[in-house]
Amino acid sequence: GQNIDQPTEMTATEGAIVQINCTYQTSGFNGLFWYQQHAGEAPTFLSYNVLDGLEEKGRFSSFLSRSKGYSYLLLKELQMKDSASYLCAVVDSNYQLIWGAGTKLIIKP
């Protein structure tokens, strides 16, 4: 079966750095997405990785290792508005998106 694993919930402090991990076992791999979803709102696109390595976009970075079936989302200089759920999704060999259950990130002052 296909599986995406990410922690259910994480807590971090304003101004700090947090890393949200995602591991996957899928039938093939054609890219990995990270989305942010604030409570009661639409998921919004954050990043897309298809090659190994780190993609940096402002305070957010996303890393991919295809050989390890592993990705992480790195958030720096955390702000209260970063409190949200972060969804990891993998594109399988049929170009279908397989979604993780999401990680709820709580930022404390």
Partner 1 sequence: ETGVTQTPRHLVMGMTNKKSLKCEQHLGHNAMYWYKQSAKKPLELMFVYNFKEQTENNSVPSRFSPECPNSSHLFLHLHTLQPEDSALYLCASSQDWGGGGRDSQETQYFGPGTRLLVL
Q: Which is nearer to partner 1, 69 or 102 (CB)?
A: 102
Quick one: DSSP state of residue 81?
A: G
Residue 67: CB minimum distance to partner 1, A: 18
Whole-angstrom distance, CA of residue 63 vs CA of residue 54: 4
Residue in 1, 45, 67, 109 binding partner 1, rule: CB under 8 A? 45
Tell me which long-range contacts 64-69 makes (C-beta under 8 A, separation of at least 24): 64/32, 66/29, 68/23, 69/23, 69/24, 69/25, 69/26, 69/29
Residue in 8, 53, 67, 81 binding partner 1, rule: CB under 8 A? 8
User: Counting contacts by CB under 8 A, is residue 102 touching partner 1?
Assistant: yes
Residue 4: CB minimum distance to partner 1, A: 7
